[in-house]
Chain A
Amino acid sequence: MKMTKIVRTTADVFYPFCLVFGLYVVMHGHLTPGGGFQGGAVMATGAALLLVAHAYEDITGRLRKTAMKILEAIGLMMFLFAGLSGLLFERPFMGNWMAFTGKWFSHPVAHGPNPGDLNTAGLLPLLNIGVGIEVLGGLTIILLYMLSGIHAEKKP
């Protein structure tokens, strides 16, 4: 099933913005409402938009199941290794060794009202990014499977 050209073009234009907004929600997970799961879901919404606007077989070139599977595994691995990385720095599992070291994501948090500093929270942004990648991959796979199922039934 293919939608009109207007819908398809709008979806194509919208898709990168969906991804960018999703990435924003992921990256600001430790500062603003949202986080890894929510941002990943927003990014997967972009995939859903493409899937609805285009025919299933036109989209499989852009959204591949294997690529999404790999994304899912990478996201999960990133989360697990972020947790395990604490062990290397004499901390327990999920120990936040990155906070207050003055390097990445490690500024001290300012007290009182402030615009928010992205370079805070240590390990948390890494966990958010991992979850974001995992949810993007996982939800897109689910959408791909569901849509391919609908398609298969419609075929005579």
Chain B
Amino acid sequence: MDTFVMRHLPALLIATPLFAAFLMPLVGTAGRTARNAWAFLGALLTAAIGLTLAWKVWTTGTVLYVFGAATPQQTLPPDAAFPIRIMFQVDAMSALMAVIASLSALGITIYSLSAESKQSGLETFYAMLFLLIAGVLGMVVTGDLFNFFIFLEISSLAGAALVAYRIDDGVAVEAGLKYALLSTVGALAVLTAIGMLFAQYNALNMATLASRLQFTALDKVALVLLAVPLAMKCGAVPMHFWTPDTYTTAPSSVTAFLVVSSQASLYGLFRILYTLYGDLLQFSWATFGWFLIVLGILSMFIGVTMAIPQKDVKRLMAYHAVSQTGYMLLGVGVGLAVLGNADALAKYGKTAMAGGLFHIINHAMYKGLLFLTAGAVFYRCGTRNLNKLGGLGHTMPWTMVFFMIGALAIAGVPPFNGFASKLLIYESVFRFSPFLSIIAMIVSILTLASFVKVFHSMFMGPPRAEFAAAREVPAPMFIGMAILALFVVVAGLAPQPFIEHMINPAVDALVDRAGYIAAILGGR
């Protein structure tokens, strides 16, 4: 049984959340206890499978799963063009993303159990949440470009439905429509690019495509059509305009997972630049590296300056999400810029990439935590307006503690995980260009300033009469936040094991384009 499950982990990783989602409407008719238990079970199982799969990848190397056949070479009829089947190719980079997605999914589902308990239509909510989880997990483990598009669409549509979930508020529907429209336009561009590549090279498998690419004029157009929508989906300035509306109006638990979903798009962007095109960009690594760096710097700076004047706490956090995405783009962009220079890559390029990738997981955890604390405050007080909130430290001490952990982590204050990844980025980027590193530090200081303001206006001050009824949040919300907070603290106190066993293999996997191709084509 053990080996049976171990053999089919990648398929089960997608099948489990899909199973949970499909059966949710039926289970929902059996009452709220059954529904909550089903949601919890689904999330727990998904997280267990995600972590086991990642562990398998870290111990035994890239896991390849071919749908409908034992090996990639097996085709029907036997002489058909190879490889034609859908494949999941889980290398260390995919494993890292799968861990992020499945861990956040667990925390967020537990949190939703009580945070959303007052709403109606919950079986649809959980069905959509599991579809979103399945979409994100699929995006990060698939080795097939068209399959990537399918999962991108699944996550976009489920995400849009979840954003518009609170239909009593017209703004939510507008935000949902905006997200759906932008995602569809972006996905259409991705589909067009995939069509261009398929028409030329007769393959959809990423490794096969990577081995056949010639970098014709059409390929260049396809690169643009792939990179820009994915940069938009991850919320990079100047394509960030959807993030504030979407993140603000969605239920907090959904927002926390939309952050993960946008990071799956970030993963897609890195995968396409490093693995799909990779060596073809060698005529000018710097151009493509600086493309990411400029996106990153713009996102960092504009995100944080837009965040400072916000009065809605979730809108403020949404701008910070844009700003933090900039760090990831900066770190990985520096790695891309020096990819052709083995000396610089070994000296600081890989460290910068490690910082960027470490920041992805850290960001998912502390930003998720912050959104969940904002949701907790909204759950008890019914408002997100910073000018109206105040004095909650007296009545919601644990929420305050979780908020402090999240806020200090996002500002890069030791000993929390944000500091660990930001230090890696500062140090390595400084050797690339001191100016960029200084901007990154200034942005961190502005982040701290902004969160001091939020902390002060939400939790400090005398207790207020209108929030006298506010109490600590129910246990499921507490556990959901605690799971994320625990990771923030542990990864901040002992970052070394995480970097050694999770991040560095991911960096090597991202750089090792030949290895990715050889896993399917057998060293051709």
Contact = CB atoms under 8 A, between A and B. Distances in A.
B376 to A, nearest CB: 32
Interface stretch (A28-36, A45-53, A81-89, A146-154): A81-89
Interface in A51-105: 66, 69-70, 72-73, 76-77, 80, 83-84, 86-87, 91-96
Given A86-B68, A92-B66, A92-B68, A80 B26 contact: no
B67 A73 contact: no
A87 B12 CA distance: 10
Interface of B: 4, 8, 11, 15, 18-19, 22-23, 25-26, 29, 65-70
Given A80-B15, A84-B15, A87-B4, A92 B67 contact: yes
Nearest to A79: B22
25 contacts: A66-B29, A69-B25, A70-B26, A72-B25, A73-B22, A73-B23, A73-B25, A73-B26, A76-B22, A77-B19, A83-B15, A84-B15, A86-B68, A91-B70, A92-B8, A92-B65, A92-B66, A92-B67, A92-B68, A92-B69, A92-B70, A94-B67, A94-B68, A95-B68, A96-B68
B23 A93 contact: no
Contacts of A69: 25-26
Contact of B11 (A66, A77, A93): A93
A76 B4 CA distance: 24
B15 A93 contact: yes
A93 B382 CA distance: 46
Contacts, number: 46
Shortest 10 CB-CB contacts between residues of A and residues of B: A93-B11, A76-B22, A94-B68, A94-B67, A73-B26, A69-B25, A95-B68, A87-B8, A93-B67, A73-B25
A5 B253 CA distance: 52
A30 B25 CA distance: 30
A83 B86 CA distance: 13
Contacts of B4: 87
A42 B218 CA distance: 38
A87 B19 CA distance: 15
Contacts of A66: 29
State the majority secondary structure of interface residues on A. helix
Given A80-B15, A80-B19, A93 B25 contact: no
A16 B238 CA distance: 54
Interface of A: 66, 69-70, 72-73, 76-77, 80, 83-84, 86-87, 91-96
A86 B68 CA distance: 8
A73 B127 CA distance: 11
A91 B15 CA distance: 16
B23 A77 contact: yes
Nearest to A84: B15
A66 B25 CA distance: 10
Nearest to A73: B26
A9 to B, nearest CB: 35
A149 B451 CA distance: 44
Nearest to B22: A76
Contacts of B65: 92-93
A66 to B, nearest CB: 8
Nearest to A78: B22
Nearest to A70: B26
A76 B70 CA distance: 25
Given A77-B22, A87-B4, A92-B8, 11 more contacts: A69-B25, A72-B25, A73-B23, A73-B26, A76-B18, A80-B15, A80-B22, A91-B68, A92-B66, A93-B8, A93-B15
Contacts of B15: 80, 83-84, 93
A12 to B, nearest CB: 30
Contacts of A80: 15, 18-19, 22
A93 B25 CA distance: 25
A80 to B, nearest CB: 6
Nearest to B12: A93
A124 B70 CA distance: 18
A85 B18 CA distance: 15
Contacts of B69: 92, 95
Contact of A92 (B11, B18, B19, B22): B11
Contacts of A87: 4, 8, 11
A72 B124 CA distance: 13
B135 to A, nearest CB: 15
A66 B70 CA distance: 40
Contacts of A73: 22-23, 25-26
